[in-house]
Amino acid sequence: MRVQRVRLPGAVVVVTGASSGIGRATALAFAKRGARVVLAARSVGALERVARQCVDAHPRAEAAWACADVSDEGAMAHVAQTAVSRFGRIDVWVNAAGIGVLGTVEQVPVADMGRVWDVNVLAPVRGARAALPYMRDQGRGVLITISSVLGGAVQAPYMGAYAASKAALVSLDETLRQELALTGGRGIAVCTVLPAGVDTPFYSHMGNHSRRRLKSLPPTTTPERVARVVVRTAARPRRRVRVGPGARLLPWAHTVTPGLVERAVALRTEHGYLDAADTAPVTTGVLYRACDGTASVRGGAHASLRTWGRRAVTAVIGAVGVVGARSALRVGPGRPPTTSLRTRGLPFRRRS
């Protein structure tokens, strides 16, 4: 991407979802580099606390906050105006607000699916529309959206509504890059960050229609690590960045052996992460309310999940190795050539 780098000290950075998890860690990470941050979410108490921490993080850091529901276009425009009236410009806009809901495609009510798509897909569109007029005037800017490896690269049962929303972001960001290139917005970078599991309160904030309890979580990385990647991406924009355990390996394995990875993820989710039927009440989580009481950077699961992370990565490497070895054996001497060998035009020697 031919975009000027952002100098972080003094840069004006808007972060949605800044009251909790990845957004909160991201706001603090930018503030530690001397940025002037504008925090947006619905939890006023949490925003005030994060704003104070940001100001204390670096002598040049400044902070403002705006209470905003990202599903409200006017509220998003107000966030952008707050940034410009307070600090004069918008250098970086991070769409980090997001929600999830657990349940099969048949179980999750259409209204809740719609709410997830509104907050996860349409809100980043609203964010882009709020920020882009200012970035176009400036001739530069960086728009960063937090998608997910789940949906952006691989799928999982019971997370269909969420995964579809995250897949849509990858698609929309690519379109936006093309449109900006065609309409005089070449100085504006559009970057998609795809984290794997992250230890934030996200899983306790989710709606749940599966009636099953999450007994353990996917392998996780820390929100601080994701935040460092977001800050690096703002300073040196890249189209798509993956972060976290298995974030590169899993999509690669899915390309090589889609059937195997699909089965492995489905079975792991069914037997590893979810408890038996009727172990959890139906809830809409924080889909329709602020997460103020439970907002924090970490969810508290990271330490115990490191082992799971290593196990999962080892299992995927093992499975891919087994499949690779089996295909290699299949094209041994005396066996008929495979389609891939033929189509690639590689020589096949028959045993005489």
Ligand X SMILES: NC(=O)c1ccc[n+]([C@@H]2O[C@H](COP(=O)([O-])OP(=O)(O)OC[C@H]3O[C@@H](n4cnc5c(N)ncnc54)[C@H](OP(=O)(O)O)[C@@H]3O)[C@@H](O)[C@H]2O)c1
Query: With respect to ligand X, which residue has the nearer C-beta, 185 or 265?
Result: 265
Binding residues (CB under 6 A) for ligand X: these are 17, 19-23, 41-43, 46, 69-71, 96-99, 119, 146, 148, 195, 197-198, 200-202, 205, 286, 290-291, 295
3-class DSSP assignment, residue 7: coil
Q: Which two tokens stand for residue 350?
A: 């028959």
Positive or negative torsion for Cα 206, 208, 210, 216: positive
User: One of 162, 203, 273, 288 is an active-site residue; which one?
Assistant: 162
172-to-117, 128, 143, 233 alpha-carbon distances in Å: 13, 11, 12, 18
Of the pair 140, 229, the CB lying nearest ligand X is at 229
* Helices and strands of the chain, counted as H and E runs: 13, 9
CB of 242 to ligand X, least distance (A): 10
Q: How far is the CB of 3 from ligand X (least distance, A)?
A: 23
Q: What is the dihedral of CA 195, 198, 201, 202, to 10 degrees?
A: 40
The least CB distance from residue 175 to ligand X, in Å, is 19
Query: CA 340, 342, 348, 352 torsion: positive or negative?
Result: positive
Name the residue nearer to ligand X (CB basis): 21 or 157.
21
Question: Measured between alpha carbons, how far is 313 from 162 in angstroms, rounded to an integer?
Answer: 23
For 166-303, strand residue ranges (E) read: 188-195, 207-208, 240-243
Task: Report the residue number, 6 or 70, with the smaller CB distance to ligand X.
Answer: 70
Q: Which residue has the tokens 């020589």?
A: 347
Compute the least distance from the CB of residue 154 to ligand X, in Å.
12
Q: Would residue 134 show up in a list of annotated catalytic residues for this protein?
A: no
The nearer residue to ligand X, 43 or 155, going by C-beta atoms, is 43
Minimum CB distance to ligand X, residue 244 (Å): 7
Residue located via tokens 């949906």: 151
Q: Which residues are catalytic?
A: 162
